[in-house]
Amino acid sequence: MNTLNSVGHPSHRIDALLRVTGRADYTGDIHFPGMLYARVLRSPHPHARIRRIDLSRAQALPGVKAIITRENCDVIWGSGDTRNHRYLFNNPVRFAGDAVAAVAATDRHLAEEAMRLIQVDYETLPFVLDPEEALKPGAVEIQPGGNLSPNNRNERQPEVYKRGKIDEGFQAADRVFEDHYTSSHINNAQLEPRVAIAQWEGDHLTVYTPTQGISNCHTETARDLKIPPEKVRIVCHFMGGGFGNKNQNHDFELMAAVLAKQAGVPVKLEFTRKEDFVSVHGRWPTKQYYKIGVRNDGTLTAIQLRGYSGMGPYRKGAGGIGGIEIYQCPHVERSVSQVYTNMAVSANLRAPDYPQGVFGLESLMDDIAYSLKMDPLDFRLKNMTRKFNDQVPYTSIGLEECIRRGAEAMEWKKRFHAPGEGAGPIKRGVGMAMGSFFSNMGRSSAVIDVDSGGMYHVHVGVTDVGTAAKTTMALIAAEELGVPLEKINIIWGDTDRCPYSVGESGSRTTTHTGHAVVEAAKDLKRQIAEKGMPQGKDILTATANTNPAAAPNTARYSFVAHFAEVEVEADTGRVRVTKYVAAHDSGRVVNPLTATSQVKGGATMGIGMALHEELLYDRASGLPLNAGYYGARVMTHLDSPEIEVHWIETEDPYGPFGAKTLGEPTIIPSVAAVANAIYNAIGKRVRDLPITRDKILGVLA
């Protein structure tokens, strides 16, 4: 791969100094004179009809300026449920944490005191937490029309994918393996809780909010509030992460806007950490029933999955169970029921469909390899995807190289052994898993001005969810323009100043907006060649609104293989990840420094999901028990191993300088790699996430 001047060189974030010195103003740091503070009253029941809300005591409290409930606010949060109407305040309330009222007062403690003075008369209703239970006859109906939520074609049917003929696949098999797996609800657990400030100037609304996409947030906020988009401005200068749960617009932004309108002054609405865990979506819990046919030589003949995703009572995101496409196999059938339940709403968390599905799939593939007396590494090299869904060629594929390079770095041949082999109370084992992720290309815009001083002002609608998107855009601009990074000034995070960007979800910013930056830079170079550099107060401006696509009948994917070594104390059930290797084909790596951080972050989240993270519910009451960093057992520094990152930089003909997707693939195989390493260590399989001490001691007993 040819060497470039800016792209491909490790570069610190252009805003690193501001962030680490506390000078970056996050939304929570912003203050306006006379601003009110708001809190949200939430349902203490998983399912209940509200008979009556008495606001009189709350309204009587001095300092309380506005209260909104379903009675005086019928705003529909459009992106909160794209299939049914989800109001900001719903009746019936459908999960413990569903919003009932929001209060704005002169300080946040007063707002909370008022919130506690609101008296709500609930009629509690039966509830259901488990997605399979929710589909049984007699289960309480959570949404009109039943608990099977619509699939991607808006039919009340499971989401189904088929190729070949599954029965023929099983007939062609020498052996058929079946097992089932479960995964838990996991919260995104990003550092910065939800916080928005809404400010009206006449009929013009400005919302300061940590969003992953100012453009989507902008159009959806205007739509939900029924005001013209040109009257809405969204500002996000700095944000503290989201991992998918700050996509689109959100209820806290809309509530702040409605309260601010009512009160006539700016309103800041901030969630507590606990609210952020119970009332905002995370990864959906799943049940997965896999059946796989294989010939004695290890060739796959059929893969079947019947799965259930517990989406909570509203549908914000997809709800699939992904991963099967990493194997070549002639006969495949996948049916996933996306089910309404009375748990916290599930939607987007880093590679939403994948790590849980890959956990089940790769656990069973591992078992099959061992049963056939094959090294799981060889089994994967034999069966890994070579064409997408066995049909469509990839634009570039480095999966085999990921597996080989990762195995070498893990010293697989040396460390691998028969499952459970080895005496002594401390068992070591290695495991691996692989994955792929759609490397999307699509519409985005960029505007670049150059002034007579030679500074290039790049206007891009990115916000930087943590991927260093601003820096990525600067590197791409510097490369294409052929100027040093210091000559690039990025203008970001403000819909009044930036053109459309797809938003930092789906791992799309580098390929979408980065492409627009390249095209705008090319145009600007042409103008400069033609007219010369601007003089005096003149500027030259170039714009690009691009919608590139890969060649027809090709599939553009990133690939990944992760390898884990664990140490399991057989007598105490303690698991430590002692070595971790991640090998990624994301095409050209634009910024190896921040890209490596992405991989470390994704793998770390996956290790947490494998070993201890979950939002646990009390089955009797339907209430969450362990919301927050302490209770939900989010990863700490001491839990995080050294993660070794290897780049397989395939030559991809698309994307800016050949870059493919990175952010989300980083978590896809990590859960399964750890689970498979535990199996290799102890010779027993735990099929329910997270693989906690009690489960390990249980299978070893």
Partner 1 sequence: MKSFANVNPRNLKDAVAQLQKPNAVAVGGGSDLLGMVKEHLVEPDLLVHLRALRGLDQVSSKGGEVAIGGLITLDNLSHEPLIRDSYKVLAEAAGSVATPQIRNAGTLAGNVCQRPWCWYYRNSFPCFKNGGNRCFSITGENQFHAIFGGGPSFIVHPSDTAPALVALDAKFRVTGPAGDRTLAAADFFALPKVNASRENVLAPGEVLVSIHLPKAASGARSTYHKVLDREAWTHAVVSAAIVLDMDQQICRSARVVLGGVAPIPWRLPKVEAMLAGQRITPELAAKAGEAAVEGANPLAKNGYKIPLTKAVVSKTLLSLA
The residue (of 371 and 572) whose beta carbon lies closer to partner 1 is 572
Cα three-residue angle 568-574-580, rounded to 5 degrees: 55
Residue selected from 612, 646, 660, 687 as contacting partner 1 according to rule CB under 8 A: 612
Would you give the binding string for partner 1 spanning residues 618-657, x where CB under 8 A is met?
A: xxxx-xxxx---xx-x-xxxxx------------------
The residue (of 161 and 629) whose beta carbon lies closer to partner 1 is 629
What minimum distance in Å lies between the beta carbon of 693 and partner 1? 6
What minimum distance in Å lies between the beta carbon of 638 and partner 1? 4
The residue (of 403 and 635) whose beta carbon lies closer to partner 1 is 635
Q: Residue ranges of the alpha helices (H) in 418-553?
A: 469-481, 509-531
What minimum distance in Å lies between the beta carbon of 695 and partner 1? 8
The residue (of 310 and 461) whose beta carbon lies closer to partner 1 is 310
What minimum distance in Å lies between the beta carbon of 328 and partner 1? 38
Own/partner pairs, 632-639, CB within 8 angstroms, 24+ separation? 632/186, 632/187, 632/189, 632/277, 633/608, 633/690, 634/187, 634/189, 634/608, 635/604, 635/605, 635/607, 635/608, 639/604, 639/607, 639/608, 639/611, 639/612
Chain position carrying tokens 């884990």:
564
**423 near partner 1, judged by CB under 8 A:** no
Reference 401, options 586, 653, 556, 591; nearest CA is 586
Q: Which stretch binds partner 1 (CB under 8 A): 109-117, 325-333, 580-588, 670-678?
A: 109-117
What minimum distance in Å lies between the beta carbon of 111 and partner 1? 12
Residue selected from 132, 616, 683, 684 as contacting partner 1 according to rule CB under 8 A: 616
What minimum distance in Å lies between the beta carbon of 51 and partner 1? 22
Q: What is the DSSP string of 89-111?
A: S-SSB-STT-EEEEEEESSHHHH
373's tokens: 């007396």
Would you give the binding string for partner 1 spanning residues 282-301, x where CB under 8 A is met?
A: --------------------
The residue (of 84 and 626) whose beta carbon lies closer to partner 1 is 626
- What is the C-alpha to C-alpha distance for residues 82 and 281, in angstroms, rounded to an integer? 14
The residue (of 563 and 617) whose beta carbon lies closer to partner 1 is 617
User: Do residues 547 and 502 lie in contact, with contact meaning Cβ atoms separated by under 8 Å?
Assistant: no
DSSP at 193: P
What minimum distance in Å lies between the beta carbon of 314 and partner 1? 23
Restricting to residues 459-478, which ones interact with partner 1 according to CB under 8 A?
none
The residue (of 551 and 625) whose beta carbon lies closer to partner 1 is 625
Using CA of residue 496, residue 501, residue 506, residue 508, what is the dihedral sign?
negative
Reference 505, options 220, 289, 96, 129; nearest CA is 220
- What is the C-alpha to C-alpha distance for residues 515 and 160, in angstroms, rounded to an integer? 33
334's tokens: 């996948």
**171 near partner 1, judged by CB under 8 A:** no
The residue (of 153 and 637) whose beta carbon lies closer to partner 1 is 637
The residue (of 554 and 626) whose beta carbon lies closer to partner 1 is 626
What minimum distance in Å lies between the beta carbon of 130 and partner 1? 15
Residue selected from 113, 132, 375, 408 as contacting partner 1 according to rule CB under 8 A: 113
Residues contacting residue 143 through CB under 8 Å, at least 6 positions apart:
84, 94, 149, 313, 340
Q: Which contiguous run of DSSP H or E holds residue 68?
A: strand 64-69
What minimum distance in Å lies between the beta carbon of 44 and partner 1? 9
- What is the C-alpha to C-alpha distance for residues 73 and 296, in angstroms, rounded to an integer? 63
What minimum distance in Å lies between the beta carbon of 684 and partner 1? 14
The residue (of 53 and 632) whose beta carbon lies closer to partner 1 is 632
Angstrom distances, CA of residue 678 to CA of 178, 473, 503, 574, 614: 20, 40, 37, 11, 19
What minimum distance in Å lies between the beta carbon of 417 and partner 1? 24
Q: Phi, psi at residue 201, to the nearest 5°?
A: -120, 100
Would you give the binding string for partner 1 spanning residues 566-585, x where CB under 8 A is met?
A: ---x-xxxx-x---------
**What pairs with residue 200 in β-bridges?**
205
Q: At what angle do helices 509-531 and 469-481 cross, to 10 degrees?
A: 30
User: Do residues 678 and 616 lie in contact, with contact meaning Cβ atoms separated by under 8 Å?
Assistant: no
Restricting to residues 661-700, which ones interact with partner 1 according to CB under 8 A?
692-694, 697-698
59's tokens: 């309204």
What minimum distance in Å lies between the beta carbon of 128 and partner 1? 17
**550 near partner 1, judged by CB under 8 A:** no
- What is the C-alpha to C-alpha distance for residues 378 and 129, in angstroms, rounded to an integer? 40
Q: What is the total count of residues that contact partner 1 (CB under 8 A)? A: 35
Edge-to-edge strands of the sheet including 175-183?
A: 159-163, 331-339, 300-310, 286-294, 175-183
Q: At what angle do helices 354-371 and 592-611 cross, to 10 degrees?
A: 70
The residue (of 538 and 618) whose beta carbon lies closer to partner 1 is 618
Cα end-to-end distance, the chain, whole Å: 53
What minimum distance in Å lies between the beta carbon of 570 and partner 1? 9
Reference 54, options 107, 96, 100, 98; nearest CA is 100
The residue (of 71 and 639) whose beta carbon lies closer to partner 1 is 639
The residue (of 414 and 637) whose beta carbon lies closer to partner 1 is 637
What minimum distance in Å lies between the beta carbon of 574 and partner 1? 7
**701 near partner 1, judged by CB under 8 A:** yes
> For binding to partner 1 (CB under 8 A), which residues are involved?
109, 112-113, 116, 569, 571-574, 576, 611-612, 616, 618-621, 623-626, 630-631, 633, 635-639, 692-694, 697-698, 701
